[in-house]
Amino acid sequence: MKLHRCTPWFFGKHGVFAALAVGAIVNAAPAQCPVPGDCREVHATPGCEQPECCTLVCDFDPLCCSAEWSEICVKAALELCEGISCPSAGACDVIHPNAGCADFDCCELITTLDGWCTYAAWDELCALEAEVLCGVAPCVINAVGVDESEPCYKRLNDGWGVGLVAARIPFSCQLAMKGKVVDGGPRDLEWFQLDGSMRRRVRFTFEAEFPIELQYMLGPEDGPNEVKWLVGEPLCEGPRSVQFVTELGTSTLILGTGNRERAYREGLDCDEINPDFPPEPDDPPPYAVYGLRWKMTAECLALADIDGDGAVGAADLSLLLAAWGELDPSEEFDPRQPDADLDGDGAVGASDLSLLLASW
């Protein structure tokens, strides 16, 4: 079952409290930060275990880091440290009712990407993200291909509603491109135009420095729109491919960062300066937990080349016969699995067999 959660964009941990945190970090607290002790409970030793909260409180009252963590310190923590939840009770890969989790590095990573895990509770999505992302080393890819030539603050290839005509990247066979994706200030995705008057089989192979979210959307700018499928790819596991048959009319393949359950909207800031809106001297620098770069190759395949090996033959026939019959409409389409419904009528049957034999 697919999970959904509505999280306001301003809930990113580097959003609401950025100005407060920056001021406190500049005036760093004494060396007691962090030390054992719950920031929200009185204890006889100075300092507490949440580095950011400890710094904020000790900047407000230095006695909290030189004498004891008193009632005054606890009150200051409750007022100043809203949204700071790392570390907190609970294993990071296990659901628990409080925000944050026990492993500081994992907690910092997940709460940066997912504001819900900072402010609400450590729910199933937080635990899943911790399981698949924590402990995975970031990677640097050798990005080759035609550069999209788009500053990440301009959103030139970011689909509908950006006020630009050339808002999608035109598709062509043997297309090879590279570029950047960012998820905040503003969010910049890549939209690949797959419009057509006939169905065709395509294969896209992506590699990125961030967790990949891919979705295939049907429909024109003024709607209606439908997401036919959405997949998430793991972090830094090399090239990942999707192969599918495009639908008639207007359709778009969208590359972003996230997972199957949700898009990431924090933690991957654009690293280029917008000359029209340069940063203020006291603005925090761009923040990115992963690299921003991606690269992609696209190929056109024969419609009946179900296994994608470059030829139509016995292997494709075997896949078609194995899929014979009505398709279950309740099953979500997965573009990483063979698609034998060549005519797109919701069933694999005689018409699909005829198309395959004609391409043999």
How do the pLDDT tens digits run along the chain, 360 residues long?
Answer: 455 454 444 344 444 334 333 334 334 445 578 888 888 889 999 998 888 899 999 999 999 999 999 999 999 998 898 778 888 889 999 999 988 999 989 998 999 888 888 888 899 999 999 999 999 999 999 887 888 878 887 777 776 655 544 578 889 998 999 999 988 666 788 899 999 999 999 999 999 999 999 999 999 888 899 999 999 998 999 999 999 999 999 999 999 999 888 888 888 888 888 888 888 888 888 888 999 999 999 999 999 999 999 999 999 999 999 999 999 988 889 999 999 999 999 999 999 999 999 999
- d(C-alpha 243, C-alpha 233), whole Å: 14
**pLDDT of the residue at 186:** 66
Residues 6+ apart with CB under 8 A from 309: 315
**pLDDT of the residue at 334:** 93
Supply the pTM of this predicted model: 0.79
Give the torsion sign (CA, 90, 4, 229, 209).
Answer: negative
**pLDDT of the residue at 161:** 55
Q: Are 92 and 66 contacting, i.e. CB atoms less than 8 angstroms apart?
A: no
DSSP-derived secondary structure letter, 141: -
With 0-12 / 13-18 / 19 or more C-beta atoms within 10 angstroms meaning exposed / middle / buried, residue 44 is exposed
DSSP-derived secondary structure letter, 239: -
Domain spans in the chain, listed from the N-terminal domain onward: 1-6+90-135, 146-301, 314-358
Q: Are 187 and 210 contacting, i.e. CB atoms less than 8 angstroms apart?
A: no
Q: Are 94 and 127 contacting, i.e. CB atoms less than 8 angstroms apart?
A: yes
**pLDDT of the residue at 25:** 38
* Beta-ladder partners of 182: 188
Half-sphere exposure of 259 (CA within 13 A, CB side): 18
b/e map of 325-337 (b: 16 or more CB within 10 Å)?
Answer: eeeeeeeeeebee
b/e map of 100-138 (b: 16 or more CB within 10 Å)?
Answer: bbbbbebbbbbbbbbbbbbbbebbebbbbbbeebbeeee
**pLDDT of the residue at 266:** 84
Tell me phi and psi for residue 11, to 5 degrees: -85, 5
With 0-12 / 13-18 / 19 or more C-beta atoms within 10 angstroms meaning exposed / middle / buried, residue 173 is exposed
Which stretches does DSSP call E strand in the chain? 146-147, 169-170, 176-180, 182-183, 187-188, 190-193, 201-208, 212-218, 226-233, 240-245, 251-257, 293-301, 325-326, 347-348
CATH architecture of 146-301: Sandwich (2.60)
**pLDDT of the residue at 359:** 94
Residue the block writes with tokens 């016995």: 314
* Beta-ladder partners of 300: 202
**pLDDT of the residue at 149:** 79
Q: How many helices (H) and strands (E) does the chain have?
A: 8, 14
**pLDDT of the residue at 26:** 39
